[in-house]
Chains A and B, each alone.
Chain A
Amino acid sequence: SQQGEEDPQALSIQEGENATMNCSYKTSINNLQWYRQNSGRGLVHLILIRSNEREKHSGRLRVTLDTSKKSSSLLITASRAADTASYFCATDAYNTDKLIFGTGTRLQVFP
């Protein structure tokens, strides 16, 4: 399977703490994206990082990409209860139009 893997599978933290999720993938990529999914809902696009970028910020989100290790991390700083959701990374298989999703991390932020 080409599916990427994320760890941890589940993460529980208190409001105000930082949450870090990691994603590993298998093939060469053009870019890597992170999505959020609230329970039973569709996907919300969070951030895209291209293969020639190493770090990207968007509000409380910080994404890193290490193409040599085929891995990425998503850091959510100062978490809020509203950040409770599942988070998925997705990569495009090189020279294709497909997105390959990781296994996801379920984040629970307690107030």
Chain B
Amino acid sequence: GAVVSQHPSWVICKSGTSVKIECRSLDFQATTMFWYRQFPKQSLMLMATSNEGSKATYEQGVEKDKFLINHASLTLSTLTVTSAHPEDSSFYICSASATTVADTQYFGPGTRLTVL
């Protein structure tokens, strides 16, 4: 149980375009979803926390107008990278939790974004 999927697993896009990444909890309802970014050979950095039906909470230094997060249902959150640029190229990982307790996060397999 507790499977989280991400789609797409990888995407290549041109600079200036927008890219949407989906995160789904397949067998449980996720009240909270988290979005992380990971640059090569670095650790995961939390970008934002989203709760179903409310606005996402962004970490310091993360532009909310650039990284749009929508948590429209208890099984789906989306991250849209707007007007992507090469420096946005990264590995984006989501996690989902059925509670508000940090020790129950389940991670998706990640999405590799390459912006040309």
A92 touching B102 in the complex, CB below 8 Å, given contacts A98-B46, A99-B46: yes
Residues of A contacting B: mostly: strand
Number of interface residues of A (CB under 8 A): 24
Query: Out of A43, A45, A48, A100, which one reaches B46, CB within 8 Å?
Result: A100
A102 touching B112 in the complex, CB below 8 Å, given contacts A96-B102, A97-B100: no
A40 touches B91 (CB 8 A): yes
Q: Is B34 an interface residue (CB 8 A)?
A: yes
Once bound together, how far apart are the Cα atoms of A48 and B97, in whole Å?
15
Instruction: Write the B92-116 contact mask toward A (1 if CB under 8 angstroms, else 0).
Output: 0101010011110111111010000
Instruction: Write the A81-111 contact mask toward B (1 if CB under 8 angstroms, else 0).
Output: 0000000100011001111111110100000
B102 touches A97 (CB 8 A): yes
Instruction: Write the B64-94 contact mask toward A (1 if CB under 8 angstroms, else 0).
Output: 0000000000000000000000000001010
Q: Chain B's nearest CB lies how many Å from the CB of A19? A: 18
User: Which residues of chain A have a CB within 8 Å of any CB of chain B?
Assistant: 3, 30-31, 33, 35, 40-43, 45, 48, 88, 92-93, 96-104, 106
